[in-house]
Amino acid sequence: MTIHTRLTRALTRIRQWCRAHRHDSVADQSRALGKKLRGHYGYYGITGNGAAIGRFFHEVTKAWHKWLGRRSQRARLTWARFLTLLARHPLPPPRVVHSIYTRTANP
């Protein structure tokens, strides 16, 4: 299981990144967040940690929505518009990369 402090630290860094890069193009943000999520899944995606990486994905999605919604002083980004944006620029879904039930090549 992911230690709470590590999850909190990773989410804080993602939120700071979203804030700093909120005016970049949505395609660039999506690409960068996808890399960050795949890296997180690669490190923390082990058997039994699915709930923690699922929560991480959910919190990253919320943070991205928040900071995209703050790009303008006028219009806010509704969840309906954000979901259509996610359909165009999807983030990689959470997945367990390393299983304790499969054998390794060199035991």
With bands split at pLDDT 50, 70 and 90, how would you rate the model's confidence at 99? Answer: confident
Is residue 63 assigned to a domain?
yes
Give the residue numbers spanning the domain of 65. 4-88
Q: What is the pLDDT of residue 106?
A: 58
The reply to whether 94 falls in a domain is no
- Of the pLDDT bands very low, low, confident and very high (cuts 50, 70, 90), residue 105 is low
pLDDT tens digits along 34-77: 999 999 999 999 988 999 999 999 999 999 999 999 998 888 89
99 part of a folded domain: no
DSSP string, the chain: ---HHHHHHHHHHHHHHHHHTTTS-HHHHHHHHHHHHHHHHHHH-BTT-HHHHHHHHHHHHHHHHHHHHTS-SS----HHHHHHHHHHSPPPPP---B-TTSPPS--
The verdict on residue 9 lying in a domain is: yes
**Are the C-beta atoms of residues 89 and 27 closer than 8 Å to each other?**
yes
Predicted local confidence at residue 1, as pLDDT: 54
Tell me the C-alpha distance between 29 and 20, whole Å.
11
Does a structural domain hold residue 97?
no
- Compute the average pLDDT of residues 77-99: 94
pLDDT tens digit sequence for 10-35: 999 999 999 999 999 999 999 999 99
Q: Is residue 22 part of a domain?
A: yes
Provide the number of structural domains found in the chain. Answer: 1
78-103 mean pLDDT: 91
